C-alpha cells in the first residue's frame, strides 16, 4: 500500500506539487515531506549570479550631506549598471553610519543600488 502510493506520487512533477500544496493546505501529516525539496534549487543559483555581476564602484564628489535623512547629493561619474551618464543627483544611504566620517567636497567612490525605485548607496569610501 505504501509503496504503491509513493510510485504514484513520483509519476509527474505537476501532480506532486498539486498534492503537496493540497496536503499542506489541509495541514496533513508528514507523509509528503520527502518530496518538498525537489524543486526551485536551480533558480536560486541563477538569481544570485545575476545580482553579483555588476557591483562596481563609481567615482563621485560630495556636493551636500543631509545627515538627518541619510541622503547625499553627489556629482557622480557614469553608472553603467543603470545606463546613467555623469550628473549631480541625490542618493539615499542604506545606513547613516556610512556617511559619518564624510564631508562636503570629499572625493569618494560608491556602490549604488536600486530599491523600490529609489537609488540607494550600499557602500561608500573616501578617496585619498
Ligand atoms: Cu545620476
CATH of the domain at 29: 2.40.50.320
Give the 3-state secondary structure of residue 24: helix
Q: Say how many Å lie between the CA of residue 72 and the centre of ligand 1.
A: 12
pLDDT digits (tens, 9 = 90+) for 50-64: 444 458 999 999 999
What is the extent of the structural domain holding 65?
2-36+53-126
Q: Say how many Å lie between the CA of residue 19 and the centre of ligand 1.
A: 49
Answer whether residue 42 is part of any domain: no
The residues, ordered by sequence, that sit 6+ positions from 55 with a Cβ below 8 Å of its Cβ are 111
Answer whether residue 45 is part of any domain: no
Answer whether residue 83 is part of any domain: yes
> pLDDT confidence of 128, banded at 50, 70, 90?
confident
Answer whether residue 88 is part of any domain: yes
pTM across the whole model: 0.58
Number of structural domains in the chain:
1
* Residue 63 grid cell: 556636493
Q: Say how many Å lie between the CA of residue 78 and the centre of ligand 1.
A: 8
Q: Say how many Å lie between the CA of residue 122 and the centre of ligand 1.
A: 15
- Dist. CA 62–CA 5, nearest whole Å: 66
- Dist. CA 51–CA 99, nearest whole Å: 24
Give the 3-state secondary structure of residue 69: coil
Q: Say how many Å lie between the CA of residue 69 and the centre of ligand 1.
A: 19
Amino acid at each position: 500500500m505504501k509503496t504503491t502510493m509513493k510510485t504514484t506520487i513520483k509519476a509527474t512533477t505537476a501532480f506532486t506539487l498539486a498534492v503537496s500544496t493540497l496536503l499542506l493546505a489541509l495541514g496533513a501529516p508528514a507523509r509528503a515531506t520527502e518530496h518538498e525539496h525537489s524543486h526551485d534549487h536551480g533558480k536560486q543559483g541563477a538569481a544570485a549570479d545575476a545580482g553579483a555581476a555588476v557591483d562596481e564602484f563609481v567615482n563621485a564628489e560630495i556636493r551636500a550631506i543631509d545627515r538627518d535623512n541619510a541622503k547625499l547629493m553627489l556629482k557622480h561619474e557614469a553608472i553603467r549598471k543603470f545606463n546613467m551618464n555623469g550628473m549631480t543627483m541625490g542618493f539615499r544611504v542604506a545606513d547613516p553610519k556610512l556617511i559619518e566620517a564624510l564631508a562636503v567636497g570629499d572625493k569618494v567612490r560608491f556602490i549604488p543600488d536600486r530599491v523600490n525605485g529609489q537609488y540607494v548607496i550600499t557602500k561608500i569610501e573616501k578617496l585619498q
